[in-house]
Amino acid sequence: MTIDEMIVYGKKYCHSDHVKILVAELLGKNPLELLTCLNEEVPLDKIELYKQEIAALKEGKPLQYVIGYVNFFGYKFKVNKNVLIPRFETEQLVETTLKYIENNFQKDVKILDIGCGSGVIGLTLKKKLPKAQVDLLDISKEALDVAKENAKNLDLDVNFIHSDCFANVLDKYDIIISNPPYIGLEEEIDSIVKENEPYIALYAGQEGLDIYKKILREIQNHVKEKYLIAFEIGCNQAPKIIDIVNCYLKNVNLEVKKDLADKDRMLFIFKNNE
């Protein structure tokens, strides 16, 4: 079977863009290169693997889990069924947090990533801020295993904490950042997400607010006098999360930021000790 024949076969069952990504990944090529080598013969073992991957896509498995990685902020991160697939909105959270840090903190900040999953947030911050001390926390040992592998692949020296929020945390931090589960139990989401991504990384009680409450209830004991808290949030949750913030934190500045779809997506809580 040639590359062209592989593409034709895959298009019978899957979106053409996904097919080209699969073929390119399998053959170690850039998708743009495929047009230059359509008549190239492909080894039988790779054809069999390709057919298995096409079958997985046809059955509704996300492309990212099939190929086993995502690109986030220009870095390659392993993902599997034990971790949430990172979205572009989370890249915006990281980008905006980096700007806050640049404008308000020294480069040797101490950062905690709560619910780190594959580690994309904490590890990207460490990449961009080499002098920072970064701790990555998750309740899932399986997720932490993925994050540890990503840290090793990116040659990053970070700390890992297996904990339910602050249960096993002793330190205080300049920056606490989190993309927690924030979907309500009755909220409708795409079936490909609901049926594949880990429940524990998606849902957080009736209104999707349980983890924000849990974090904010205890966070005062784990921040320094001057701090930044950065949350990714559901697009309709900002007012209720702000109410929770005001229950537990005093004299803070709050800022809600929108994503590229013009929906509320990030909440920043800043406290200056001056």
Task: Note whether residue 228 is domain-resident.
Answer: yes
Instruction: Please indicate, yes or no, whether residues 116 and 221 belong to a single structural domain of this protein.
Output: yes
Each residue's pLDDT, cut to its tens digit, for the chain (274 residues) gives: 899 999 999 999 989 899 999 999 999 888 888 888 889 999 999 999 999 999 999 999 999 999 999 999 999 999 999 999 999 999 999 999 999 999 999 989 999 999 999 999 999 999 999 999 999 999 999 999 999 999 999 999 999 999 999 999 999 999 999 999 999 998 888 888 889 988 899 989 889 999 999 999 999 999 999 999 999 999 999 999 999 999 999 999 999 999 999 999 999 999 987 5
For residues 126 and 150, the answer to whether their CB atoms sit within 8 Å is no
Are the beta carbons of 260 and 240 closer than 8 angstroms? Answer: no
Burial of 217 (0-12, 13-18, 19+ CB in 10 A): middle
Based on the fold, state whether residues 139 and 178 are members of the same structural domain. yes
Helix (H) or strand (E) holding 71, with range, is strand 69-72
Number of domains in the chain: 2
In this structure, are 208 and 157 located in the same domain? yes
Write down the pLDDT at residue 51: 94
Compute CA distances 199 → 72, 115, 217, 246, whole Å.
22, 13, 23, 29
Together in a domain, 30 and 141: no
DSSP 183: B
Q: Say which CATH number the domain at 108 has.
A: 3.40.50.150
Q: Indicate whether 141 belongs to any domain.
A: yes
Q: What's the domain range around 256?
A: 81-271
Q: Please state, in angstroms and as integers, the Cα–Cα distance from residue 241 to each residue in 209, 214, 250, 266, following that order.
A: 7, 12, 14, 11
Identify whether the C-beta of residue 252 lies closer than 8 Å to the C-beta of residue 274: no
Strands (E), 90-245: 110-114, 133-138, 159-162, 173-178, 223-232
In angstroms, the CA 136 to CA 133 distance is 10
Angle at 88 between CA 95 and CA 77, to 5 degrees: 90
Alpha-carbon span 179 to 108, nearest angstrom: 22
b/e code 18-29 from CB counts within 10 Å (16+ = b)? bbbbbbbbbbeb
Q: CB 192: neighbour CB atoms within 10 A?
A: 13
Q: Are strands 253-258 and 75-78 parallel, antiparallel or unpaired?
A: unpaired
For residue 137, the model assigns a pLDDT of 98
Helix (H) or strand (E) segment spanning residue 56: helix 44-58
Residue 68 domain-assigned (yes or no): no
pLDDT of residue 215: 97
Mark which of 28, 59, 90 sits at the end of a domain.
59
Q: What is the dihedral of CA 218, 220, 221, 222, to 10 degrees?
A: 90
pTM over 0.85: yes
Same domain, 156 and 226: yes
pLDDT for res 274:
58
In-domain check, residue 66:
no
Same-domain check for residues 52 and 147 = no
Please check whether residues 238 and 157 belong to one and the same domain: yes
Q: Count the Cβ atoms, other than its own, within 10 Å of residue 209.
A: 21
Q: Would residue 100 count as lying in a domain?
A: yes
Neighbours of 137 (CB within 10 A): 25
